[in-house]
Amino acid sequence: MVRAGPSKVGVLLLAAGSSKRFGSDKRLSKLASGNSLLEYSLQAYLDVTPDCAVVIDSGDRQLESNRQLESILCAKNVHVIRAADAQYGMGHSLAAGIKQLQALKWAACLVVFIPIWPIRSSACMPLIIV
């Protein structure tokens, strides 16, 4: 007997970095539309699939920034994954996200980052739809 496993493909957005090269918190940088780069990027994926999770640093050093992130993610109704070891690099954030795949009932995920330029839903669709 073959057991059916998860069949969903979700989007795992890594957003636990410190944005050192960007110069400020890239996630909260405002675009001309008034939306943050995180909101805009996340919406591009949500337009294609409701199965999105965002990895953030559980020990985010900037408390106000953390409250703003939580507010955005709550409003978008996405899964929030807190990476306890994010300060050790992207690999640790990725590992925290991948560990949650079974709980999310995803068969696979598209791992993405917040780009430094806005993306469009039409660019995401061929990557997610299987």
Give residue-wise pLDDT tens across range 71-96: 888 888 898 888 888 888 889 889 99
- The domains of the chain, with CATH numbers, are 8-124 (3.90.550.10)
Residue 111 Ramachandran class (φ > 0 left, ψ -120 to 50 alpha, else beta): beta
User: Residue 5 above 60 pLDDT?
Assistant: no
User: Residue 52 above 60 pLDDT?
Assistant: yes
